[in-house]
A and B are shown apart, each in its own frame.
Chain A
Amino acid sequence: MKYLDEFRDPEVALRLIEEIKELATRRWVLMEVCGGQTHSIIRNGIDQLLPDAVEMVHGPGCPVCVTPLETIDKALAIAARDDVIFCSFGDMLRVPGSDEDLFQVKGGGGDIRVVYSPLDAVAIAKDNPDKEVVFFGIGFETTAPANAMAVYQASQDGLENFSMLVSHVLVPPAMCAILDSPHNRVQAFLAAGHVCSVMGYEEYYAICQKYKTPIVVTGFEPLDLLQGIKAAVIQLEDGKAEVHNAYQRAVRPEGNLPAREMIADVFAVTDRTWRGIGMIPVSGWKLSDRYRELDASVRFSVEGIQSKESELCHAGEVLQGTLKPDECPAFGKECTPRTPLGALMVSSEGACAAYFHSGRFARAVAL
Chain B
Amino acid sequence: MTIDGWTCPIPLRNQPNVVMGHGGGGMLSAELIEHLFLPAFGGTRLADMADAALLDLPQGRVAFSTDSFVVRPLFFPGGNIGELAINGTVNDLAMRGAKPLYMSVGFILEEGLPLSDLGMIAESMAAAAKQADVEIVTGDTKVVDRGHGDGIYINTTGVGTVPAGIDIGPSRVTPGDVIIVSGTIGDHGIAIMSVREGLGFEADAVSDTAPLNAMVADLVEADLDVHALRDPTRGGLAATLNELAASSGTGIVIDQDAVPVRRVVAAACEILGLDPMYVANEGKLVAFVPEEHAEEALSVIRSETYGGEAAIIGKVVGEHPGMVVATTPLGTTRVVDMQVGEQLPRIC
Contact = CB atoms under 8 A, between A and B. Distances in A.
A91 B320 contact: no
Interface stretch (A113-121, A181-189, A256-264, A273-281): A113-121
Contact of B348 (A13, A46, A139, A361): A139
B334 A90 contact: no
Given A44-B330, A103-B341, A364 B319 contact: yes
Interface in B296-348: 314-315, 317, 319-320, 323, 325, 327-335, 337, 340-341, 344-348
B199 interface: yes
Contact of A43 (B319, B334, B347): B334
Contacts of B314: 367
A116 B345 contact: yes
In terms of DSSP, what is the predominant structure of the interface of chain B? loop
A4 B344 CA distance: 22
A48 interface: yes
Contact of B333 (A4, A117, A337, A363): A363
A93 B199 CA distance: 16
Interface stretch (B73-81, B225-233, B267-275): B267-275
Contact of A348 (B199, B253, B330, B346): B346
Given A1-B263, A14-B330, A143-B348, A94 B200 contact: no
Contact of A142 (B337, B344, B348): B348
Given A42-B334, A116-B198, A367-B255, A91 B344 contact: yes
B266 interface: yes
A25 interface: no
A337 to B, nearest CB: 5
B340 A366 contact: no
Nearest to A194: B348
A115 B267 contact: no
Interface string A94-134: 10000000010000000001111101100010000000000
Contact of B198 (A14, A48, A113, A360): A113
Interface stretch (A68-76, A149-157, A201-209, A351-359): A351-359
B6 interface: no
B341 A357 contact: no
Contact of B335 (A36, A349, A357, A365): A357
Nearest to A67: B347
A337 B335 CA distance: 14
A361 B323 contact: yes
B341 A13 contact: no
Contacts of B332: 44-46, 48-49, 363
A359 to B, nearest CB: 7
Interface in B177-224: 198-201
Interface string B269-292: 010110000000000000000000
A143 B345 CA distance: 14
A178 to B, nearest CB: 21
Given A14-B330, A364-B323, A90 B263 contact: no
A365 B335 CA distance: 12
A94 B198 contact: no
A1 B266 contact: yes
B170 interface: no
Interface string A330-349: 00000001100000000111
A200 interface: no
A251 interface: no
A284 interface: no
A226 to B, nearest CB: 10
B251 interface: yes
Contacts of B270: 1, 4
Given A42-B334, A44-B332, A338-B340, A366 B346 contact: no
Contact of B345 (A45, A114, A361): A114
Contact of A356 (B263, B337, B344): B337
A145 B337 CA distance: 34
Given A337-B340, A348-B273, A364 B346 contact: no
A258 B327 CA distance: 42
21 contacts: A14-B331, A43-B334, A44-B330, A45-B328, A45-B333, A48-B332, A63-B347, A90-B346, A91-B344, A113-B198, A116-B201, A143-B348, A347-B347, A349-B346, A349-B347, A359-B334, A360-B335, A361-B335, A364-B319, A365-B317, A367-B255
Given A44-B330, A49-B331, A139-B347, 17 more contacts: A1-B267, A8-B329, A43-B334, A45-B332, A45-B334, A49-B332, A63-B348, A91-B345, A116-B201, A116-B345, A119-B200, A120-B199, A359-B334, A364-B333, A365-B317, A366-B333, A367-B253
